[in-house]
Structure 1
Amino acid sequence: MKKIKIPLKLINLQDDGFHLLVEIVVFGEKHLAVLDTGASRTVFDKTLLNHHLTDITLAEDEHSEDHQATTLFTTSNTVLATLPVLKIGKLKLKKYTTVGLDLQSVNDTYEHLGHPVIAAIIGGDILRKFKAVIDYKKLVVRLS
């Protein structure tokens, strides 16, 4: 796989830090996701998953290694789902198994600050597997 360069958008969180957003395509629709180097794995908004999928499983044992989804935002009420296709730039992941969380409080905060809503948090599972390198000066992430 050759290197893929994906543009990022930097948003300011009231001078208390920032988040990097990346455009993704899931269920044939464009969405924004937070690029979170501190998240253990990629998670999606549970409402989005429920709207598009019928095969969603409640993660009964949230402490098992396969079901843990620790992010900056939350670690509770998880569901498991498989996305038919997840596109991040030119990267195309088929049958991607993900965790769904309630991201409403994150989106409420974003809307309050005048930022767009997010559908997901891209975490360490994808970033590590594809050797992500973030270029803050050029606002791009490179995957290989």
Structure 2
Amino acid sequence: MIKIPLALLNLQDDGFHLLVEVVVFDKTFKAVLDTGASKTVFDKTTIEKHIGNDELRTSDRVSTGLGTTNMESFTWLLPDFQVGDFHLKNFEVAVLDLSSINFAYENLSVDPVIGVIGGDILTQYDGIIDYGKKTLTLKKSKKK
């Protein structure tokens, strides 16, 4: 079991978001931990600064949520992804335009996020969120 620290972001009396530090492209970013997101998603604008467009695959799935019912989506095979001491290699993520989230964060004077950690990771690695201790616990290996 790997314990990962979380930060609790107060959205000015409009709820809370859990943030976690992730490492992608050998750089540290913040990501939102979202139990309601079915899949882990990365921001297209941020990803395109680090990879070629030919690495993104157009997805035939229609993405909903994030204030829209129809958003162009892509998938990307993330070669190396680190959340705390938890490492994933060759993990497929969705890639969407997350500018609306980052615009909202900018209005709160909060740094932008690279993405959203979703239910795919939380369910596959038996994620446990402890709000009191502000930790996420993940198993080292995928459940069978």
TM-score higher than 0.5 here? Answer: yes
Segments of 4+ moved more than 2 angstroms: 69-75
* Root mean square deviation, CA, Å: 1.4
CA–CA separation in structure 2 for the residues paired with 1:19 and 1:36: 8
Does structure 1 retain, via aligned residues, the 8 Å contact 2:77–2:91?
yes
CA–CA separation in structure 1 for the residues paired with 2:19 and 2:75: 23
SS across alignment from 2:111? coil
- Structure 1 or 2: more strand by fraction: 2
Residue equivalent to 1:136: 131
Does structure 2 retain, via aligned residues, the 8 Å contact 1:80–1:98?
yes
Structure 1 residues 30 and 84, CA gap change in structure 2 (3 angstroms): same
What is the TM-score when the length of structure 2 is the normalising length? 0.88
Structure 1 residues 77 and 58, CA gap change in structure 2 (3 angstroms): same
CA–CA separation in structure 2 for the residues paired with 1:58 and 1:94: 21
Does structure 1 retain, via aligned residues, the 8 Å contact 2:66–2:100?
no
Residue equivalent to 1:20: 18
Aligned-residue sequence identity (percent) comes to 47
CA–CA separation in structure 1 for the residues paired with 2:93 and 2:61: 13
Structure 1 residues 86 and 100, CA gap change in structure 2 (3 angstroms): same
CA–CA separation in structure 1 for the residues paired with 2:133 and 2:64: 28
Write out per-residue CA displacement over residues 31-50 of structure 1, whole angstroms, 9 at most, x where no aligned residue.
Answer: 00000000001000001221
Write out per-residue CA displacement over residues 5-37 of structure 1, whole angstroms, 9 at most, x where no aligned residue.
Answer: 000000011201000000000011100000000
Structure 2 residues not aligned, in runs of 5+: 140-144
Residue equivalent to 1:96: 91
1:107 is the counterpart of 2:102: yes
The number of residues matched between the two structures is: 136
CA–CA separation in structure 2 for the residues paired with 1:113 and 1:96: 31
Residue equivalent to 1:66: none
Does structure 2 retain, via aligned residues, the 8 Å contact 1:38–1:71?
no
1:82 is the counterpart of 2:81: no
